[in-house]
Structure 1
Amino acid sequence: MKGIQCKLARVALEWGVLDLAKAANVSTQTITRLERGEQLRPSTLNNIQSVLEDAGIEFISENGGGVGVRFKRPMS
């Protein structure tokens, strides 16, 4: 997961930095650092990604069109 994907996922879920930080049990500064493109420990990055995936986000790898996110299942 790249920083821009984290931000896109948060916006899609209508979560603020504080919401994601609480859900992932990290500081708001950690989320901000990730979204600025700074390196995080792999375990921290995996934790944040797992929280977003559990909330219904699917991460799209770069496949010629750039990275992105989408919902795993249709929104109700």
Structure 2
Amino acid sequence: MSIEILSIRQVKAARALLAWSQHDLASASGVSYPTIARLEKEDGPLGGRAATVAAIRSALEAAGVEFIAENGGGAGVRLKNVN
């Protein structure tokens, strides 16, 4: 399911599910480590340029993360069921 806005907390939770460091996400997304670190210092919606957000999202989704939209229960993340 596609959602418009990702939060910093969703990105951090996604990294935790994958056991990825900020360096791992930087490598997988092509976004520099300093940019990842700067973005994750804040709370709220993931900021930055649209291309940066798209690269982060794509890398996490390619690794098996599914972003869950706000649907009354709160936005979240989970690992895709590959079975």
Aligned match of 1:10: 15
Q: 1:45 aligns with which of 40, 53, 60?
A: 53
Residue 60 in 1 paired to residue 75 in 2?
A: no
After TM superposition, the score normalised by the length of structure 2 is 0.80
Give structure 1 stretches of 5+ with no counterpart. none
After TM superposition, the score normalised by the length of structure 1 is 0.87
Task: Quote how far apart the aligned CAs of 1:18 are.
Answer: 0.4
Aligned match of 2:39: 34
Bigger helix fraction: 1
State how far apart, in whole Å, the 2-side matches of 1:33 and 1:73 are: 31
State how far apart, in whole Å, the 2-side matches of 1:71 and 1:40 are: 25
Task: Quote how far apart the aligned CAs of 1:29 are.
Answer: 2.0
* Cα-Cα RMSD: 1.7
- Identity level (%): 49
CA contact (8 A) 2:26 2:36 kept: yes
State how far apart, in whole Å, the 2-side matches of 1:49 and 1:67 are: 14
Give structure 2 stretches of 5+ with no counterpart. 1-5
Amino acid at match of 1:68: G
